[in-house]
Chain A
Amino acid sequence: MKDKVDLSVNLGSLHLKNPVMPASGTFDIRDTLLNMRELNSLGAIITKSIASRRREGNPGPRVWETDGGMINAVGVPGEGVEYFKEHILPLLEEANDTIIVSMVGDSIVDFCALAKKLDNFEKISALEINLSCPNLNNGLYFGVNKDVLGDLIYQLKKSTQKIIIAKLSPNVTDITEMALTAQEAGADILTIANTFLGMAIDPEKQIPRLGNKVGGISGPAIRPIIVRMIWETSQKVKIPLIGVGGITCAQDALEMFLAGASAVQIGCANFSNPYVMLEVIQGIKEYLLRKKYSSLLDIIGLVHKNHF
């Protein structure tokens, strides 16, 4: 009886028991409907981007639904790294074995200092670098400039032993160039990608919908662009990829594996369906069984082989 499939995957030295985790900023361990068992069944848990100091975030409105998605300009609010270590990290440790901390910084120095502060925590498996948060001037700056991006990753690798995941910005002409730069600078894994810069305007009031005026677009509308970016990037780089953007069901996640991603993150679909990540894990398993694969590894990048 062959009813077992192996969903585990190694992204370099980062081992995941399955390839599904939340996307940074769309899930909060303090405010989740999932119980302990459910939290533990996720491939990993990733935090909202943590900064070295307390940050207020942007004025409201911070979110607006757009056709096929949403636009947000939350602006990375948070209590800062010290609060995180004391109050949030213990909750995460209880909930899942694989904890990824997303980081945001104002400067290379700031980023490196933050990474050092997290370096001693054994339970943190990896650091994801938010290079592309389009809501902060500095975030945009890191993600769209090759030299600065390379320099940041290089310095970070010198500051910490942790696995470095570079979360790229899609707001560039050629994402594979950024991916190659990050790889050369020492990034262990790439996340593709953050939100797309956009804007919505209220024709009645004749003002921008968001307090920050512009924001990042996420949701189903961006998925085909992300799938294309994963497909392109996986042909050029050797390091593993995590796909994120617009996943709402297992089918959507499968597209990303087939295009070359080794794991996926799910963002705003969690808002409407807090159980979506569990459903996607189940759906991937069912697909592999139905197609008679024994492991997720069998389908990663398969589209490259099937198309000539």
Chain B
Amino acid sequence: MEAYENKPLLVKGKIRKHKLISNNYGEMVIEAPQIAKRAKPGQFVMLSRWQIKNLLLKRPFSFYQINPQEGRFTILYKIVGKGTEILSNSKIGDEIELIGPCGNGFLLPKEANRIALVARGIGIATLLPLAQEASNRGIEIYSFLSAREKSLLLGRDSLESLSFHTFYTTDDGSKGRKGKVTYFLEELLKENKVNFEAVYTCGSKRLAQHIQELQQKFHFFSYVSLEERMGCGIGACKGCVIRTCHGYQRVCKEGPVFPLEEVMFYER
């Protein structure tokens, strides 16, 4: 069967570092060399730190940092329910079951000079490894980060240090400008001074829809990383679809990264 080597693997990892950030977030370093070696920015892992009889499904998390040399990767997670609650009670040395790397990562254009990263909240996590790779290749990064408030601009220091320019917006004005996430991006595009080979976004469907609108006005290429409820994470259950111009596509298999213009958002 084709591309056998690229299939995700089921492996047991070890939790090497774990810290809670404020009440609702956690950052966890997981040792799993087989996965860390193959992980690419934009891909994700399915993980469980529970027995199947307690919680049936694994949960998807993006790679936040990838360290192939040390055989480790990091996830940044938000506590929202049972699974992430259990995760937040993890101790160093605990075993964690993983399936990954799953999905297709971000593509950087071959000849890119400058890219834009637009992320909201926990979506910043997904874009950080992309920023790392782009920075390694000498690509100039403009980051546009947004959150409800300053403390939710997670990973902003890491991203800022990799970026040529970082623009902040918060809903309450506690950092950067108050208001719409895409304000700065739109201003730059309007002035026609900077030119992005690609715009990457993640973290909110509403945000992605805004960028789609800008795309129609300013014609740039864009990728979006999307989330959907998952069963298997490997393409088997057809549970994680989103609507695209090619019909329904699986977030875990054809995605989670999609060309933005192909995605058809709809409000439920």
Chain A residues closer than 8 Å to B242, beta-carbon distance: 60
Q: Are A28 and B236 also in contact (CB < 8 A) when A65-B57, A248-B53, A269-B52 are? A: yes
Interface residue tally on A, bucketed by range: 35 or more
B206 CB-CB contact with A under 8 Å: no
Q: Is the CB of A31 within 8 A of B231?
A: no
Question: B241–A275 contact, CB under 8 A?
Answer: no
* B203, CB-defined interface residue at 8 Å: no
Least Cβ distance of A222 to chain B in Å? 12
- Cross-chain contact of B10 among A94, A207, A274 (Cβ < 8 A): A274
**Which of A27, A30, A31, A60 is close to B241, meaning CB atoms less than 8 Å apart?**
A60
Interface string of B227-268 (1 = CB under 8 A from A): 011111111111111110001100001000000000000001
Whether the Cβ atoms of A63 and B53 lie closer than 8 Å is no
A-facing mask of B38-58, CB < 8 A → 1, else 0?
Answer: 000000000010001101111
Asked whether, in the complex, the Cβ of B56 is within 8 Å of the Cβ of A60, the reply is no
Taking a contact as CB atoms under 8 Å apart, the answer to whether A59 and B56 are in contact is no
CB distance from B43 to the nearest CB of A (A): 16
Q: Which residue of B lies closest to A26 (CB)?
A: B237
Consensus secondary structure, chain B interface: loop
Decide yes or no whether A268 CB sits under 8 A from chain B. Answer: yes
A271 to B236, Cβ gap below 8 A? yes
Q: Would you give the shortest CB distance from B165 to chain A, in whole angstroms?
A: 36
Interface set, chain A 35-83, CB cutoff 8 A to B: 35-36, 48, 56-57, 59-65, 68-70, 72, 74, 77
Find out whether the CB atom of B1 lies under 8 angstroms from the CB atom of A31: no
* Residues in B whose Cβ lies below 8 Å from that of A243: none
* Interface size classification for chain B: 20 to 34
Chain B CB count within 10 A is highest, among A27, A60, A248, A271, for: A271
Q: A25-B237, A275-B10 are in contact. Are A69 and B56 (CB under 8 A)?
A: yes
Tell whether, in the assembled complex, residue A272 and residue B240 are in contact, meaning their CB atoms are under 8 Å apart.
no
Is B128's CB within 8 Å of the partner chain A? Answer: no
Residue ID in chain B nearest A61 by CB atoms: B229
Contacting pair A32 B53 (CB below 8 A): no
Q: Are A61 and B56 touching (Cβ within 8 A)?
A: no
- Smallest CB-CB separation from A207: which chain B residue? B268
* A63 near B56: Cβ-Cβ < 8 Å: no
Decide if B8 is an interface residue (CB 8 Å cutoff). yes
Inter-chain contacts of B235 with A (CB < 8 A) = 28, 30-31
Chain B residues whose CB sits within 8 angstroms of the CB of A273 once the complex forms: 10, 52
User: How far is it, in angstroms, between the C-alpha of A60 and the C-alpha of B234 when the chains are bound?
Assistant: 17
Contact A72 B231 (CB under 8 A): yes
Residues on B with beta carbons closer than 8 Å to the beta carbon of A28 = 235-236
A19, CB-defined interface residue at 8 Å: no
Nearest Cβ in chain A — how far from B122, in angstroms? Answer: 18
Q: How far is the CA of A284 from the CA of B154 in the complex (A)?
A: 48
Over the window 79-121 of chain A, the binary record of Cβ atoms lying under 8 Å from chain B Cβ atoms (1 yes, 0 no) is 0000000000001001000000000000000000000000000
**With A and B bound together, what is the CA distance between A195 and B97 in angstroms?**
27
How many Å from the CB of B91 to the closest CB on chain A?
22
**Interchain CB contact under 8 A, A57 and B268:** no
A171 interface residue (CB < 8 Å to B): no
| Chain B residues near A198 (CB-CB < 8 A) | none
A160 within 8 A of B: no
Q: Contact check: which of B99, B231, B268 meets A268 at CB < 8 Å?
A: B231
A211: interface (CB < 8 Å) = yes
A14 at the interface (CB under 8 A from B): no
Give Cα A216 to B238, complex, Å: 14
Give the docked Cα–Cα distance between A46 and B4 (Å): 21
Contacts A61-B229, A65-B55 hold; do A72 and B10 have CB atoms under 8 A apart?
A: no
Which residues on A are within 8 Å of B, measured CB to CB? 25-28, 30-33, 35-36, 48, 56-57, 59-65, 68-70, 72, 74, 77, 91, 94, 207, 211, 219-220, 248, 268-275
10 more contacts with CB within 8 A, not counting A60-B241, A272-B58, are A26-B232, A28-B235, A30-B1, A31-B253, A63-B229, A68-B56, A70-B231, A219-B56, A268-B57, A270-B236
16 of the cross-chain contacts (CB-CB < 8 Å) are A26-B236, A31-B253, A32-B234, A32-B236, A35-B4, A60-B229, A60-B241, A60-B248, A62-B241, A70-B56, A72-B239, A91-B1, A94-B1, A269-B56, A271-B233, A274-B234
